[in-house]
Amino acid sequence: MRDRVEKALNHIRPALRKDGGDVVLVDVSGNGVVKVQLTGACRGCHMSEATRDGIERFLKNEIPEVTRVEQA
């Protein structure tokens, strides 16, 4: 599943990079929890929680086995 998550994240990275940020895949657990790290301008941004929520919605839509996305 890690490869599928990484591939899906590649679809949203251009939007994050456009604003000076990025997302790094840290871990994918067996129970569908995806851990990511927001980097660049996304790190510490007051909208980082909304960004994480958007990543979670996108990943759940693309990969039904994803149960939650957490920031590492």
- Tokens for 43? 């790190």
Are β-strands 21-28 and 33-40 bridged in parallel, bridged antiparallel, or unpaired?
Answer: antiparallel
pLDDT at 42: 87
Domain count, the chain: 1
Taking CB atoms within 8 Å and a gap of at least 24, the contacts of 10-18 are 11/58, 11/62, 12/54, 12/55, 12/58, 16/40, 16/42, 16/51
Domain that holds residue 52: 2-71
The string of pLDDT tens digits covering residues 29-69 is 999 999 999 999 988 888 899 999 999 999 999 999 999 99
| CATH number of the domain within which 37 lies | 3.30.300.130
Minimal CA–CA distance to 22: which of 32, 34, 33, 14?
A: 14
Minimal CA–CA distance to 5: which of 20, 31, 27, 22?
A: 27
